[in-house]
Structure 1
Amino acid sequence: MNSAPDPKPRPLDHLAEFGRDDAPALVLRGAVLSWKDLRTRVGRLAAWLADRVPDKGARVATWAAKSELTCLMPLAAARAGLVHVPINPLLKRAQVAHIVGDSGARLLLATSARLATLEDGDLADTCEAIAEDAVLAGVDQVEASLPPSAWDPETLAALLYTSGSTGRPKGVMLSHANMWLGAVSVADYLGLAADDVTLAVLPLSFDYGQNQLLSTWHAGGCVVPLDYLTPRDVIKACARHGVTTLAAVPPLWVQLVEQDWPIDAVTPMRRLTNSGGALTADLVRALRGKFPNAKLFPMYGLTEAFRSTYLDPSLVDIHPTSMGQAIPFAEILVIGENGDVTTSGEEGELVHCGPLVAHGYWNDPQRTAERFKPAPAASRYGGTAVWSGDRVTRDREGLLYFVGRRDAMIKSAGNRISPQEIEEAALASGLVSEAAAIGVPDERLGQAVHLVVRGTGDGEGLRGALRRDLPNFMQPQAIHWVETMPLNPNGKIDRAALQAELTA
């Protein structure tokens, strides 16, 4: 592992240049792309995109499962001078219509089945929808490919849509530099190498999911994308491909440690990485038991700043609940209510400074101003910092520990869920008069969604409406019907009272 990775960013599409020509770069269901193939296909897809959307800086969206198209788009769109908008394939038409409309995407590239779910008016006249098969067929006809680009690394490369505690998903603006340095940083502290094989099980619409690709490719390694149905699918893929690197979120780890792992799936494993929620001490012990020779990397991240901290594997057994320390290129400060850096053991807000900080929220200056603020005076970087809203402490050894969130956002199975999105869907059903979505602690999910509603509608009708309008990970585990909602002194629904009642 390098002690000081190169801090100079390059255009994102240069990540296609690191591997040996004949080595595997991407293992798809029906084909294996060598590094030479990867370079050719990225160049041709970039040429196809540039011909279809010649305006530099225009947005192009993808809404599909893991495939050649979705894996190559981060590099190809960047090479074409476009801004990629990856959409979670689990989202339903209403969320997709919002993201496409909010981003002003000129293209929506999706599977035919997903496009068939869209209704009249979901897409603006300026957005062309093209089926994934047609895109790949068009790329096959391209003769001249685009060479590696020379874009300014500070230009935008992607919009990653993420939910907060209120409102609809907002697009985090990521530059070539943000994504390049994120790949360099993670490849460095994980010690990734050209002979590594990463099983990409996380959604490519997440920053953590995209980095599975980018950090592995920066090391010249190979990625095996997988859309799994059961934990056994993950285990079989690990054995089949000799996987050395596996990234997951706590709910998936819980399922995986409950399974029997054959020796050929365990032996090649070099490292396990976790984000999207804290590991418990019991889960750490279970992972240690399953993978005695693999290094375990607990991590903490923000889409607004990619990744903030990781815990050195040598410290995991001693400090199993710690978030660790800052990753390369990140400066992490804990700021108290008085605006100063806190003392050891004192709770404060985690503030992320440095070149991994995103460029704000797309077309949303109000919410940008709430989260992206001037760095604290103590910062060595200065400029703009991300004020996370997360409450943490730092111990005498400099290790960070998560305390809680300031807002009401729900974190379930690694997904950031806006309560307001669920509440709006419930109210839109016409079956309830008031609604409040609450995150309740859950051993497997981190938090489970509970929906408290007041109204005269029927439960099955509400369930059906929510299944129609919301993706699976937003579905309430339980719906509680009440005659009156508790109110706070401002006359608003008292979420703290509901939280206390549901967790009593």
Structure 2
Amino acid sequence: MSADPDPTVYPLDHLAMRGQGDAPALVLKDRTHSYNSLNARVGVLAGWLKSRAAEPGARIATWLPKTELACLMPLAAVRAGLVHVPINPLLKRAQVVHILADSGTALLISNKGRLDTLESGDAICPVLDEATAWAEADALACELQPSNAASDSLAAILYTSGSTGRPKGVILSQTNLWLGAVSVAHYLKITPDDRVLAVLPLAFDYGQNQLLSTWYAGGSVVPLDYLTARDVVKAVARHGVTTIAAVPPLWLQLAELDWPAETAVSLKRLTNSGGALTPSLVRALRTKFAQAELYPMYGLTEAFRSTYLDPSLVDAHPTSIGKAIPFAEILVVKDDGHAAVQDEEGELVHTGPLVAQGYWQDADRTAERFRPAPSFSKLGGMAVWSGDRVRRDGEGLLHFVGRRDAMIKTSGNRVSPQEVEEAAVATGFVAEAVALGLPDPQLGQAIHLVARAAGDADAAREGLIPALTRVLPNFMLPRHVHWRGEMPVSPNGKLDRVALAAELAKDMSR
């Protein structure tokens, strides 16, 4: 691996031409696209999108599993001069309606099953099922050639939950996504011979980068919507997969399975983000996949990825999040604004060209998180102030200490407590609610909901979870509901989250 990756930025749709023309680029259920056919297919989709778009820069949303259109849209939207808004296929009606309205989406492409869940008046834009979209695109047969999009132009809006409120859109430029792909392909040492199994949702920055970094390196992507962990094992065997990116809950399931020796040995690299690996899970993965390099990583959507731990250091430092990835400068800043010294705790601050452009049409929250880099920064410019507390040891390795906000991280997903609480109250069964994330060996954190019933308590106990199941994705559902006749209040008159968290943690320790 060379000392420094190439910092030259090209339009994102040029990734469709990075590999050898006849080499496999995208392995779908019913066909495999070479780089030549990938580029042509992106061009056809882009030509149709441009014919449907009201104006340059219009937002095009996809609410799909890992279909052909979902995989090609990050490149096709850019080639058409549009902005892609990928929506997590696990989200349900309420979250989707919010994202469509907030982003000002001009067109939503989904499938019939999902579109049928929308109600009259939900969609503020035209909606199409994927089959119709492809039929129109193929009939039009207008293949756009590679674009010359400016490096600072908007490419995508990725929606992520904040510590309070509904999902907010992170604005990503051509530079953000291109250099993110370059950085990851470089430090993971992906080659044209690699096959990457894309198991993570493409609406996540980490999930989307599975496509982009692999195509930058000229490798092949195998998208997989899996039902069980055993489906992953089967896909590795079927396609000769060399690389898997996953989150801790899935790694735990994969480590517990019996893998055929000839299948396990095909894996060259395992990458993790979306939560910390425990020392016991590190040992399990290193034992089961002894030949594979393990890459623990830390990231946040506002800057894509911040750090990775070199595989050679994993056994000795299993809990470290490593050092800055290429193109990132990672600072540890004390509360007084000065640089933290060795083993001193401070806030992780990320600066450099991977820093996003802010939040979509949300100047207040942008100003809270995106602020000028500290004076001692080498790169300077705008920085993301993560809110996460870290320390740097004597070897320069970073260690995660804790989170400043109340965000719940469960099964690799970021969940806003307020969104869960609002959904609970909206059912009519709950008068007051507090959602908390407490440690869980499988999920990382499990969602606990403390609630006071509205009206009949027995009816509330029986009806709450079924009602929430209809409006929330599974990963946002409370695993435990604790009913209270009265909720504790802090001196400022707000529900006392700290007291409730302490009470539940004490109960769990008994």
Normalised TM-score (structure 2): 0.98
Distance in 2 (CA, whole Å) between partners of 1:340 and 1:95 is 40
SS at match of 1:16: helix
Q: 1:190 aligns with which of 170, 188, 191?
A: 188
* Matching of residues 48-67 of structure 1 within 5 Å: 48-67=48-67
The CA deviation at 1:2 is 2.3
Give the match for residue 478 of structure 2.
476
Unaligned runs of 5+ in 2: none
Number of matched pairs: 502
* Matching of residues 129-144 of structure 1 within 5 Å: 129-144=127-142
Residue 110 (structure 1) aligned with residue 110 (structure 2): yes
* Matching of residues 206-285 of structure 1 within 5 Å: 206-285=204-283
Letter in 2 for 1:239: A
Superposed CA offset, 1:398-423 (max 9, x none) = 10000110111100000000001100
* Matching of residues 463-502 of structure 1 within 5 Å: 463-502=465-504
- Determine if contact 1:334/1:350 at 8 Å carries over to the other structure: yes
The CA deviation at 1:103 is 0.2
Distance in 1 (CA, whole Å) between partners of 2:467 and 2:361 is 30
SS at match of 1:342: coil
SS at match of 2:470: helix
- Determine if contact 1:410/1:419 at 8 Å carries over to the other structure: yes
SS at match of 2:185: helix
- Determine if contact 2:268/2:293 at 8 Å carries over to the other structure: yes
Give the match for residue 161 of structure 1.
159
Distance in 1 (CA, whole Å) between partners of 2:280 and 2:261 is 22
Give the match for residue 71 of structure 1.
71
Unaligned runs of 5+ in 1: none
Give the match for residue 349 of structure 1.
347
Letter in 2 for 1:323: I
- Determine if contact 1:242/1:264 at 8 Å carries over to the other structure: no
Superposed CA offset, 1:461-484 (max 9, x none) = 111110011000000001110011
Give the match for residue 31 of structure 1.
31
SS at match of 1:13: helix
Letter in 2 for 1:29: K
The CA deviation at 1:332 is 0.2
- Determine if contact 1:201/1:228 at 8 Å carries over to the other structure: yes
Give the match for residue 19 of structure 1.
19
The CA deviation at 1:54 is 4.6
SS at match of 1:29: coil
Give the match for residue 371 of structure 1.
369
Q: 1:176 aligns with which of 161, 174, 177?
A: 174
Distance in 2 (CA, whole Å) between partners of 1:341 and 1:135 is 52
Superposed CA offset, 1:78-122 (max 9, x none) = 111111000000100110000011000000000011001000121
Distance in 2 (CA, whole Å) between partners of 1:30 and 1:63 is 21
* Matching of residues 252-401 of structure 1 within 5 Å: 252-401=250-399
**Larger displacement relative to structure 2 (293-302 or 13-22):** 13-22
The CA deviation at 1:432 is 1.3
Distance in 2 (CA, whole Å) between partners of 1:463 and 1:430 is 12
Normalised TM-score (structure 1): 0.99
Give the match for residue 202 of structure 2.
204
Distance in 1 (CA, whole Å) between partners of 2:220 and 2:292 is 18
The CA deviation at 1:500 is 1.0
- Determine if contact 2:48/2:142 at 8 Å carries over to the other structure: no
- Determine if contact 2:54/2:106 at 8 Å carries over to the other structure: no
Distance in 2 (CA, whole Å) between partners of 1:77 and 1:55 is 12
Distance in 1 (CA, whole Å) between partners of 2:461 and 2:3 is 57
Distance in 2 (CA, whole Å) between partners of 1:421 and 1:261 is 39
Distance in 2 (CA, whole Å) between partners of 1:487 and 1:162 is 29
- Determine if contact 1:108/1:130 at 8 Å carries over to the other structure: yes
Residue 9 (structure 1) aligned with residue 9 (structure 2): yes
* Matching of residues 457-468 of structure 1 within 5 Å: 457=457, 458-468=460-470
The CA deviation at 1:142 is 3.3
- Determine if contact 2:13/2:79 at 8 Å carries over to the other structure: yes
* Percent of matched pairs sharing the same residue: 66
- Determine if contact 1:172/1:361 at 8 Å carries over to the other structure: yes
Letter in 2 for 1:374: P
Distance in 2 (CA, whole Å) between partners of 1:373 and 1:462 is 41
The CA deviation at 1:21 is 1.5
Give the match for residue 96 of structure 1.
96
Distance in 1 (CA, whole Å) between partners of 2:254 and 2:135 is 37
